[in-house]
Amino acid sequence: MSKPKLISGDRNYSSSSLRVWLLLNEFEITFDETIIKLFQSDSVEKIAMFSPSLQLPVFIHDSIKVWDSLAICEYINETFLESRAWPQHARKKAVARSIANELHADFQHFKKDWPMNCQLKARMKNSSSTEKEIGRLDAIIYCCRNNFGDGGIYLFGQFSIADCMLAPIAVALNAYGANLSLLSKKYIQALLSNPNIEWWLEQAEKEVETELQNINWEKFA
């Protein structure tokens, strides 16, 4: 099988790229990577060379191009992993897929108000809509760990695509000091101690931060 290529955004900001990158690294799939810096005057032009949606990540394998993080994770799961990236049990798998899709499609207030920025340690102001979504995120983590977490530290015990989808959200929840249940906090600490995520965060720390407008945050004293 030929070596695939991932086109991703910079480590500090590209939440969707983290999801795919994490899956590839966790399952030790060899790949080449090109990183395009987001929020620059030429970012769109550079992304357009690879991505029909004008968004990253994009995954290129043989003559196949896949975009959108969850679609890429599914492609990797089918093509490289013989479906090992979802839980094997039908009930667990059904819930894991529901969670992954929900994390991908919903939480618009949270994603806007609490965007992943690996370099920030801040206390974010909450709107009631964001607060409600954080409550739902807490419930998702709590229920998965409580009902399906046996046999490992991840949402469904063993590492799965659901953890990839949650990873950038976990970075934000942790960085911005979300009020969560103990079980959810423990999971987030375990996920953020994953060596691949630690490596990503170290790399993000080294990137030059882009001046972003409209992020309403107060640095911890």
Ligand X SMILES: N[C@@H](CCC(=O)N[C@@H](CS)C(=O)NCC(=O)O)C(=O)O
Residues at the contact surface with ligand X, assessed by CB under 6 A: 9, 14-17, 38, 43-44, 55-57, 68-69
CB of 177 to ligand X, least distance (A): 22
CB of 8 to ligand X, least distance (A): 8
CB of 202 to ligand X, least distance (A): 19
Q: Are strands 217-219 and 64-67 parallel, antiparallel or unpaired?
A: unpaired
Cα 205 to Cα 10, 11, 13, 168, 202: the distances in Å are 11, 8, 11, 15, 5
CB of 216 to ligand X, least distance (A): 20
Rounded CA separation 125/195 (Å)? 30
Nearer to ligand X, 6 or 141 (CB): 6
**Which pair of structure tokens corresponds to residue 210?**
């882009």
Nearer to ligand X, 31 or 142 (CB): 31
Q: Are strands 32-36 and 5-9 parallel, antiparallel or unpaired?
A: parallel
CB of 116 to ligand X, least distance (A): 8
Nearer to ligand X, 57 or 149 (CB): 57
Nearer to ligand X, 12 or 126 (CB): 12
Nearer to ligand X, 16 or 194 (CB): 16
For residue 34, give the 3-state DSSP assignment.
strand
Rounded CA separation 103/116 (Å)? 14
Q: Are 8 and 14 in contact (CB under 8 A)?
A: yes
